[in-house]
């Protein structure tokens, strides 16, 4: 049997090189696709976190507003007890809070009444003039 020609050996070597290059190219393309998917998922994670943070901030703001309204309502109850003739010390003892806390609530109601009066005064002055 005759030895293969040099050109046949070169042709076989080129085919082998092409096959190897084809495999490397396919692998490279797959890695590029996987990297693209990775970056898409990373971006998606950021969007999810950002949306969740916005929702959480809105929820906390609403909870804080609701809590402040509840505190104001509680302060109005303290003021109503005082208006009913109960002494500050007796109100504090009945509610299990300090005298300073009773004073703070009374001041809160007074500020709220003052703000309401100012708002009403501003609204009625221009129409009365």
In this predicted structure, the answer to whether residue 117 has a pLDDT above a threshold of 80 is yes
| 94: its two tokens | 């009945």
Rounded distance between C-alpha atoms, residue 90 and residue 82, angstroms: 9
Give the pLDDT confidence of 64-116 residue by residue, as tens digits.
999 999 999 999 999 999 999 999 999 999 999 999 999 999 999 999 888 88
Q: What pLDDT, on the 0 to 100 scale, is given for residue 129? A: 35
Q: What pLDDT, on the 0 to 100 scale, is given for residue 105? A: 96
35 three-class SS: helix
Give the pLDDT confidence of 38-60 residue by residue, as tens digits.
999 999 999 999 999 999 999 99
Q: What pLDDT, on the 0 to 100 scale, is given for residue 1? A: 56
Q: What pLDDT, on the 0 to 100 scale, is given for residue 115? A: 87
Domain edges within the chain: 9-124
| Non-local CB neighbours of 33 within 8 Å, separated by 6+ positions | none
Counting Cα atoms < 13 Å in the Cβ hemisphere of 90 gives: 8
Rounded distance between C-alpha atoms, residue 24 and residue 16, angstroms: 12
| Non-local CB neighbours of 25 within 8 Å, separated by 6+ positions | none
Q: What pLDDT, on the 0 to 100 scale, is given for residue 127? A: 42
């Amino acid at each position: 049997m005759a030895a293969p020609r040099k050109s046949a050996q070169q042709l076989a070597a080129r085919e082998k090189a092409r096959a190897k290059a084809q495999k490397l190219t396919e692998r490279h393309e797959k890695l590029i696709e996987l990297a693209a998917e990775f970056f898409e998922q990373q971006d998606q994670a950021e969007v999810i976190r950002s949306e969740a943070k916005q929702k959480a901030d809105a929820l906390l703001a609403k909870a804080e507003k609701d809590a402040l309204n509840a505190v104001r309502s509680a302060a109005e109850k303290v003021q109503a007890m005082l208006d009913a003739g109960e002494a500050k010390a007796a109100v504090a003892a009945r509610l299990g809070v300090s005298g300073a806390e009773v004073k703070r609530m009374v001041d809160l109601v007074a500020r709220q009444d003052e703000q309401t009066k100012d708002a009403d005064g501003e609204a009625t002055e221009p129409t009365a003039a």
